[in-house]
Amino acid sequence: MNKAMRFLAVPTLALGALAMASSPAMAAEESYSSTLGQLNGTTGTGSITLDVHGDTATVDLQVSGLAETFMDAPYPHVQHIHTGEEARGECPTPEEDENGDGIINTTDGDPAYGPIATTLTTSGATGPEESLNLELAGLGGNYQIQRDIDLNAETKAGLEAGKAVVVVHGLDPATAGVSEEVFNSPSDIAPELPLGATSPALCGVLVASQMGDMPAGGADTGVAQETGSNTGILALGGGLVLAAAAGGTFLVRRSNAKA
pLDDT in tens, 164-176: 999 999 999 999 9
- Asked whether the beta carbons of 139 and 199 are under 8 A apart, the reply is no
Name beta bridge partners: 143: 63
Among the listed residues 201, 140, 135, the one whose alpha carbon sits nearest the alpha carbon of residue 173: 201
Higher pLDDT, 242 or 123: 123
pLDDT at 224: 40
69-80 residue pLDDT tens: 988 899 999 999
| Angle, vertex CA 18, rays to CA 13 and CA 19, nearest 5 | 100
Q: What percent of the chain has pLDDT over 90?
A: 66
Neighbouring C-alpha atoms within 13 Å toward the C-beta of 101: 18
pLDDT at 26: 56
Element (H, E) at 116: strand 116-119
Quick one: how many helices (H) and strands (E) in the chain?
5, 15
- Asked whether the beta carbons of 79 and 144 are under 8 A apart, the reply is no
pLDDT at 211: 52
Domains and CATH numbers, the chain: 27-254 (2.60.40.200)
CA–CA separation, 58 and 148 (whole Å): 4
pLDDT at 173: 94
What integer is the mean pLDDT of 209-224? 47
DSSP assignment string, 156-219: HHHHHHT--EEEEE---TTTS-S-HHHHTSBPSS-TTSBHHHHSEEEEEE-EEE-TTPPP---S
Higher pLDDT, 190 or 115: 115
Neighbouring C-alpha atoms within 13 Å toward the C-beta of 161: 19
CA–CA separation, 212 and 210 (whole Å): 6
Long-range contacts of 41-45 (CB under 8 A, 24+ apart): 41/171, 41/172, 41/175, 41/176, 41/177, 41/178, 42/66, 42/171, 42/172, 42/175, 42/201, 42/202, 42/224, 43/172, 43/175, 44/141, 44/201, 44/202, 45/202
